[in-house]
Amino acid sequence: MTVAKADIFPVMMTRGGGRFLAVGLLVTATAACGGAVRPTVSEVPATYATARSGTTEPSISSEGKPTSRSASPAVPSRQATPGEKTTRRQEAAPTSPSARTAVPSQDRAPACAANELTASEGRGGPPSSRQPGWFATPILLRNKSAVTCRLRGWPGITFFGDATIQGCAADDPSPACGKPQSTSGPRSFSITRSSVDALPDVLLAPGDTTSFTLVWEGGGMHTCVGTPFERSPYGADIRVPGDSRALTLAPFPNLYPCEGKIEITPFGVAG
Give the chain as a 3 state SS string: CCEEEEEEEEEEEEECCEEEEEEEEEEEEECCCCCCCCCEEEEEEHHHCCCCCCCEEEEECCCCCEEEEECCCCCCCCCCCCCCCCCCCCCCCCCCHHHCCCCCCCCCCCECCHHHEEEEECCCECCCCCCCCEEEEEEEEEECCCCCEEECCCCEEEEEEEEEECCCCCCCCCCCCCCEEEEEEECCCEEEECCCCCCCCEEECCCCEEEEEEEEEECCCCCCCCCCECCCCCEEEEECCCCCCCEEECCCCCCCEEEEEEEECCCCCCC
| pLDDT value for 108 | 81
| pLDDT value for 132 | 78
| pLDDT value for 172 | 81
d(CA 88, CA 32): 65
Q: pLDDT tens digits, residue range 150-207?
A: 999 999 999 999 999 888 888 887 888 888 999 999 999 999 999 888 999 999 999 9
d(CA 184, CA 195): 31
Average pLDDT of the chain, as a whole number: 73
Higher pLDDT: 73 or 91? It is 73
| pLDDT value for 46 | 41
Task: Summarize the confidence of residues 31-45 as an average pLDDT.
Answer: 44
Task: Summarize the confidence of residues 1-24 as an average pLDDT.
Answer: 49
Closest to 151 (Cα-Cα) out of 198, 202, 114: 202
Q: At residue 264, does pLDDT exceed 50? A: yes
Of 62-71, 119-128, 143-152, the poorest mean pLDDT is in: 62-71
Q: pLDDT tens digits, residue range 98-108?
A: 333 334 455 68
| pLDDT value for 185 | 95
